[in-house]
């Protein structure tokens, strides 16, 4: 829908790749502070392109989790019992945390430095930090501990949402930066994306933009304004003006909508 960001990787998976590349002894995270992973070079969360492309990160995370004995359930997510949801949540959080340690992305020191600065914006899902001095400008989003967007969402569904955002709007260049222990036994997912500045568009401008790309409104104007594209099998939720920016040349950029596969 938006011209592809020229920096995005187009490499294909190697056919000989197997689970063995992620097979390694894993120690369960200990309680208390953890030393930063040593990666041989200094990284900043605000550094452009320092994380992993989200779709690739999901693929590698699932391979890692399977190779190390985790049972992750993907696809349609409707749990008959609360305990099934809780067990899935625990498996995903622990395996994603360990995967990020294995990949050596992010660090507790960098996170502390980031949190020492003022929050640019705080919504229902994230603490948001803008890095407009970067080239290109970036924004970092940190989920509130133990929450991944909608109340029924798990880390997998949250990352799937970010991956869909990348695929629909490649100019966003959304990346997974880290998964950290943020509050006792709870976790937060850190992501980054291109930062865009400008006023919010009108609801009519959003409607014109989305309908021109095959989406149709599926709810009356309310706190959530949702669209669907039956051909793509995707719903776009929370499409109100506060979640969009009207950038240069009138280009509409979604900064916090919720894309979901229709299941």
> Cα Rg for the chain, rounded, in angstroms?
19
Which is more confident, 116 or 197?
A: 197
Q: What is the pTM of this model?
A: 0.76
2: Cβ–Cβ under 8 A, 6 or more apart, which residues?
168, 169, 170, 171, 172, 251, 253
Q: In what order do the strands lie in the sheet containing 138-143?
A: 52-53, 175-183, 186-194, 138-143, 126-131, 121-122
Domain residue ranges of the chain, discontinuous segments joined by +: 48-194, 203-261
Residue 235's SS3 state is strand
Residue 34, pLDDT score: 33
Residue range 245-257: average pLDDT? 91
Work out the percent of the chain whose per-residue pLDDT is above 90. 42
Ranges 27-41, 60-74, 85-99, 229-243: which has the least confidence: 27-41
- What is the pLDDT confidence band of residue 71, given thresholds at 50, 70 and 90? confident
Please give the torsion angle defined by the CA atoms of residues 227, 230, 235 and 236, in that order, rounded to the nearest 10 degrees.
Answer: -40
DSSP β-ladder status, 175-183 and 186-194: antiparallel
Work out the percent of the chain whose per-residue pLDDT is above 70. 70
Dihedral class, residue 245 (left if φ above 0, else alpha if ψ from -120 to 50, else beta): beta
- What is the pLDDT confidence band of residue 135, given thresholds at 50, 70 and 90? confident
Has residue 105 got a pLDDT over 50?
Answer: yes
The rounded mean pLDDT for the chain is: 77
Has residue 74 got a pLDDT over 90?
Answer: no
Has residue 133 got a pLDDT over 50?
Answer: yes
- What is the pLDDT confidence band of residue 24, given thresholds at 50, 70 and 90? very low
Has residue 168 got a pLDDT over 60?
Answer: yes
pLDDT digit string, tens, across residues 173-195: 999 999 988 777 889 999 999 99
Can you read off the two tokens belonging to residue 123? 């919504």
Residue 136, pLDDT score: 82
């Amino acid at each position: 829908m938006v011209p592809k960001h020229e920096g995005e990787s187009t490499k294909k998976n190697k056919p000989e790749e197997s689970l063995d590349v992620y097979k390694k002894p894993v120690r369960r995270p200990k309680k208390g502070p953890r030393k930063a992973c040593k990666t041989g070079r200094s990284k900043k969360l605000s550094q452009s392109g320092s994380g992993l492309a989200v779709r690739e990160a999901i693929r590698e995370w699932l391979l890692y989790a399977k190779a190390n004995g985790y049972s992750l359930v993907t696809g349609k997510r409707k749990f008959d019992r609360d305990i099934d949801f809780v067990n899935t949540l625990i498996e995903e959080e622990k395996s994603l945390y360990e995967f990020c340690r294995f990949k050596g992305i992010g660090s507790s020191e960098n996170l502390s430095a980031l949190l020492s600065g003022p929050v640019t914006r705080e919504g229902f899902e994230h603490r948001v930090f803008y890095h407009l001095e970067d080239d290109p400008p970036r924004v970092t989003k940190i989920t509130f501990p133990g929450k991944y967007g909608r109340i029924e969402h798990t880390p997998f569904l949250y990352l799937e949402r970010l991956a869909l955002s990348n695929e629909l709007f490649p100019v966003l260049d959304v990346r997974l930066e880290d998964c950290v222990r943020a509050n006792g036994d709870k976790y937060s997912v850190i992501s980054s994306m291109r930062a865009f500045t400008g006023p919010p568009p009108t609801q009519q401008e959003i409607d014109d933009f989305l309908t021109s790309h095959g989406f149709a409104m599926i709810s009356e104007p309310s706190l959530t304004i949702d669209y669907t594209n039956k051909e793509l099998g995707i719903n776009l939720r929370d499409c109100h003006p506060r979640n969009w920016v009207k950038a240069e040349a009138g280009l509409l950029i979604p900064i916090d909508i919720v894309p979901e596969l229709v299941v």
